[in-house]
Structures are given as structure tokens and as C-alpha cells.
Amino acid sequence: MQRGSHHEAWSSRFAFLLAAVGSAVGLGNIWKFPYVTGVNGGGAFVLVYVACVILVVIPILIGELLIGRRGGESPANSMAALAKDENRHSSWEILGWLGIIAAFLILTFYSVIAGWSLAYVLETAKGSFENIDATGSREIFDGLLADPLSLGLWHGLFMGITMFVVSRGVKKGLERAVTVMLPSLFVILLVLVGYAAIAGEFKRAFDFLFTTDFSKIDANVILIAVGQAFFSVSVGIGALMTYGAYLPRDVSIPKMSCVIAAADTLVAVLAGLAIFPIVFAYGLEPGEGPGLIFVTLPIAFGQMPGGTFIGTLFFVLLAFAALTSSISLLEPTVSRLVEQRDWKRVPVTICAGVAAWLVGLGSVFSFNNWADFTPLGIFPTFANKTVFDLLDYLATNILLPLGGMLIAIFAGWLMAKKSTLDELGLTDGPVYRVWRFLVRFVSPVAVGLVFLFNLA
């Protein structure tokens, strides 16, 4: 069967762009970026983060999309096909499987957190946070986490919506969903930034995000920034490689990659500019950690005029952002399965989604019944890690950077120069040479160093 014949293609470059930006923009931007920046000293972290995106992540993203489009299939079959074309060992197929497995594993716990955002849409809309204090807000959050039944149901609802979109296919499902959700997400975000600019301490937030105190940059900050950059731009696993397989040939991969990374970074910074002015205006703690948007922000929503509306809008934004990412996490598995003797998309999506939901229950229980269960507790590094922590660690700190490094090696060293030039539609000029230098030397070395530090 001809390569790519199992799959539909995007109807336009704009559709692909929306889908890829939708994959990149997610909980990583709105939930994680602000709190990680808050914990790691503000402007210094932002600077290191942007450097990682430009020097390490964009070159790998270009490599990932190029492999995806040239292979034209799911990551596993694309890697197998390219290894053959380029006369490389057939075990490179494993890199594709690694991507599929990483995406699946991330989906299992991503959906649990996304479920919190659905729960918070309801909670905020009901007015539960009106005039609440810090203790009350924490009680609501802790109450949600302590209840496996409701966590499991919200996780199930979110997974169900993801499955519905993916089951409808590339054009009717993925494309339609992102065409509605991504522009809405931008509008909501801009409304929230506008509100924060008028009602919050915007100048302080701006200084917090952009004033760089170089003394705060150390190895640990760099380590966290690299991990966050990979996760946030969705690079290093099968998601964007799969989206690349549906990409028409006349689209410029280097340009698209820069736009995707720039849009992702812009949204992360805008999320910071929506959240921190409110945090400062209400005397809350910017370094609060993972609870920043679920515990801290609702206190502000409860006090501000129109807070029920603004708060509900905020959690709708979070849920939309999560959904356009979760569909890209389910798609790699589905795309591999439909290549299997032409299995049908709907039953395959249902099976994969239900399996991800079941595995995700391990993360659900990590917040309550299994809170003290640390499966790898005998190893000092994993001493306090629950099932959720372990999956997050495995996917974000190991599989994503490892996948990224292998993609860089394959695209930079093992593919013939002619193939990469041809697929990127470039001549052997400055743009190509800068990319090739970064993807051969800078990206793999940077990731290698991160691993060494991580293990040390």
C-alpha cells in the first residue's frame, strides 16, 4: 500500500498551523509556565526559557516535522520507512514507538489535570469562590483531590470529549475543533490580559516577568527550562511528527516551526500577564507552586467585581487549551492502529481512549487512596514519588528529551543532506546551515548535559 494512504491530509496550511499551535498551547502554558516562572525567580527563568526554545527546541521541531512529512505515516511506520530509505538500521523504528508511547502516557495524566479545569468551570460558575479566603479556597481544591470518584468522572468526561473529536478524523474532528477553539482561546486570553491590565498590578507583573536577575540562573533553572520548553512546544514525541505526516508538501517546515514556537511562547507570556497582575494586586504569593491557578487565583476571583464571570472564563480557557493538546496526544496511537490491517478509526479511538482513561486512574488515586504509595520508593531519587509523579517524571524528564535527542541525531546525522534539503525546500544556504549546525551539535549536546545533571 502506498505510504500515507491510510490517512487524510490537512485541508490547508492554516488548518495545520492551528492544530500544531493548539497542540503546543495547553496546560503547559497556562498552568505550568506561570507557576514554574514564579518558583524559579521570574525574568531570569523567562530568558533561559526563550533561549532554550530558539537554540534547542526549534531545530528539533523542524527535524520532527520533516521526518513526519517524509514518512507520511504514524511515527512508528514513518521511522521504519525512513530508516529503510536512508539505509539505516531498522531498529530506528523504536524511536517512533517511543513517541507513540510517550504521547499515550502523557495523555493518561494530562486528562486528569484537564479534568480539574472542567470541575473548576462548574465550581466557579456556581459562585463557590465568592468572598472566599485562602483556607476556604484550599479546602475546595483539597476536597476535589480527595474524592477519587469525582476526579475519575471529570477525567472520564475530558477523555470522552477528546475521543469524540479524534474519532471524527483529521478534517471533521481535529481541524473543526481547533478552528473553533484556538481563536476563542486567544480572544479569552486577551480579554483576561486586558482585565488584568486595568484591575491588577500590571507594572509589577511586567517587571517580574521581564527584569532579569542573572544571579538566579543556575544549572537547575536551565534544567527546568529545557524540560518545560520541550513539553510546552510539544516537541520530542510523536504528536507533531504525526501532524507532520498530514502536512501538504508545499508548506515550509522551517517557517511553520518558528511560528508554532513563537505562538506558544507568546501564549505562555500572555498567561503570565493575565495571572501575575491579579496575584500581586491581591497580595498573593507568586511562588505558590502547582496550586497557583487552582488555589491562589480563585481567591482573587472571589473578591473582584465580576469575578464569577472572569473566573469561569479563565477555566473555560484552560479546558479549551487542554483539549487542543490532548487530541494531539491520542492521535499518534490512533494513527498507528488504523495502519494495522486498515482497522477502523472509531472503534480504535474508543479502545485507545478507554485504555488511557484506565491507566489514568493510577494518577487519580495518587491524589487520595494511593497518596502514600510510592512504587519505586526504594530508590532515593524516587523516594516520595507517587504513580502520577513517576509518570510525569518518566514522560517529561526522560522520554521527551530522549526522543528529542534521537530525532536530532537522525535528522542531523543519519539522513542524507540531500533528503533533508529536499524535504525542507531549502538550498544549501545560511538558513539550512544554521539549522544543521544547531540540530547536529547544539540540541543533542544540550539535552545530553541535561541528562547528566538529572542523573547526578
Of 227 and 298, which CB lies nearer to ligand PFF in the complex structure? 227
Write out the H or E segment, with its range, that includes residue 73. Answer: none
Of 231 and 410, which CB lies nearer to ligand PFF in the complex structure? 231
Q: Contact letters (x/-) for ligand PFF, 364-403, by CB under 6 A?
A: ----------------------------------------
Backbone angles phi, psi at 427, to 5 degrees: -100, 170
Separation CA 51–CA 191 (nearest Å): 28
Is 27 a residue that touches ligand PFF (CB under 6 A)? yes
Smallest separation (angstroms) from ligand PFF to the CB of 204? 26
Smallest separation (angstroms) from ligand PFF to the CB of 57? 11
Is 115 a residue that touches ligand PFF (CB under 6 A)? no
Is 260 a residue that touches ligand PFF (CB under 6 A)? no
Report which residue's Cβ sits closest to ligand PFF: 28
Is 29 a residue that touches ligand PFF (CB under 6 A)? yes
Buried b (16+ CB within 10 A) or exposed e, 230-243: bbbbbbbbbbbbbb
Q: Which of 6, 16, 22, 26 binds ligand PFF (CB under 6 A)?
A: 26
Is 225 a residue that touches ligand PFF (CB under 6 A)? no
Contacts of 93 (CB under 8 A, 6+ apart): 76, 77, 79, 80, 83
Stretch that binds ligand PFF, among 173-181, 195-203, 209-217, 233-241 (CB under 6 A): 233-241
Longest dimension (CA), the chain: 66
Is 265 a residue that touches ligand PFF (CB under 6 A)? no
Separation CA 388–CA 378 (nearest Å): 17
Smallest separation (angstroms) from ligand PFF to the CB of 26? 2
Q: Which three cell numbers stand for residue 444?
A: 543533542
Q: Which of 362, 27, 52, 109 is nearest to 236 (CA)?
A: 52
Separation CA 411–CA 409 (nearest Å): 6
Is 167 a residue that touches ligand PFF (CB under 6 A)? no
Smallest separation (angstroms) from ligand PFF to the CB of 373? 26
Q: Which of 205, 208, 260 is nearest to 19 (CA)?
A: 260
Q: Which of 164, 105, 196, 158 is nearest to 321 (CA)?
A: 158
Residues that bind ligand PFF (CB under 6 A): 23-24, 26-29, 103, 106, 231-232, 234, 237, 239, 325, 328-329
